[in-house]
Amino acid sequence: MGDQIETTAEAIEGSALPRVHEVHTDPKAKNAKDQPVPKGVSDKPVEQKSPAQWAYERTVLYLKKFEEALDDDHEVAMGFAGTDAGVLKIEGMGYFDPDIVTFYGSDPAGAKMQLVQHVSQLSVVFRAAPKSAEAAEPNRIGFKLLEDLEQGEA
């Protein structure tokens, strides 16, 4: 039983060409569509990517875009809806084919955290969190993740 059954929406989404559309109230805001797509993302056709890889790549692009708007006193973190898990300062991100995306990080007290999320449930809230007082520079994980995407798969 290797045949995968998809809803009409899943089939259409899976075959769609990558598109993005955004509207902002701030006329100076950069739209995701105006950002260059890394070579590692555009080299492989969408239909050859797992749902996990495709969700990972698009989330990385949004994460980096969010970080670009942060000042030097803040880093990217994510909040959790419907739970008292608090905030996870994003220190790493990955995916596990075919359908898992994971975020690594720590809470404001420094305790390690990891979110493992099925792509069908993926919902990420980026938040600005104060950087560590000991750190001279804020950690910019989005820039590191994008650099990895630009290099393509090893």
Q: State pLDDT tens for residues 97-106.
A: 999 999 999 9
Whole-model pTM: value is 0.75
Reported confidence tier of residue 1, pLDDT bands at 50, 70, 90: very low
The sign of the dihedral angle between the CA atoms of 127, 97, 52, 142 is positive
pLDDT of residue 154: 42
16-30, 67-81, 120-134: least confidently modelled range: 16-30
The sign of the dihedral angle between the CA atoms of 133, 135, 140, 144 is negative
More confident residue, 14 or 74: 74
More confident residue, 21 or 41: 41
* Burial profile 121-140: b = 16 or more Cβ within 10 angstroms, e = fewer: ebebebebbebeeeeeebbb
CB 74 within 8 A of CB 130: yes
pLDDT at 17 over 70: no
pLDDT at 108 over 90: no
pLDDT tens-place string over residues 27-68: 777 666 677 778 778 788 888 889 999 999 989 988 988 898
